[in-house]
Amino acid sequence: MGGLIYLSPSEVIAQVVNTSTVSTKTQEKIEKAKEKIEKYNEAHEKAITNLQKTRADFDKKNLAGKLSPNDVEKITKKMNKQSKSIEKLEKKIRKEKEFIQKNS
């Protein structure tokens, strides 16, 4: 009388089988890092576009001689600040990619 036991679908016990070598917590962190990368990439593209617009506007006005020395200084500071923010975003993207690479 040994035999098989048949279970109905409502009686089936779910078993979680983790085949990957990465823990679920680490996997969640990797997913968050991927989301951050997407967000940072969008911000990066937007920052580059803004910098290009500012630079084009500056060049156009500067060639026409419409900028005072104060304006030149302000716009140059603005472009430097935008460049720094782009560098920071690139650093964040690199950091997240390294985390994913290290933990995958």
pLDDT in tens, 21-37: 668 888 999 999 999 99
7 found inside a domain: no
CA 49 to chain centre: 17
Query: What whole-number distance in Å separates Cα of residue 70 and Cα of residue 34?
Result: 42
What is the dihedral sign for C-alpha 40, 46, 49, 50?
negative
pLDDT for 3 equals: 53
pLDDT under 70 in the chain at which residues?
A: 1-22
pLDDT for 1 equals: 46
26 found inside a domain: no
Domain that holds residue 70: 48-104
H-type alpha helices, the chain: 24-64, 69-103
Total count of domains within the chain: 1
Query: What whole-number distance in Å separates Cα of residue 12 and Cα of residue 6?
Result: 10
80 found inside a domain: yes
| Backbone torsions φ then ψ of 88, nearest 5 degrees | -65, -40
pLDDT for 24 equals: 86
24 found inside a domain: no
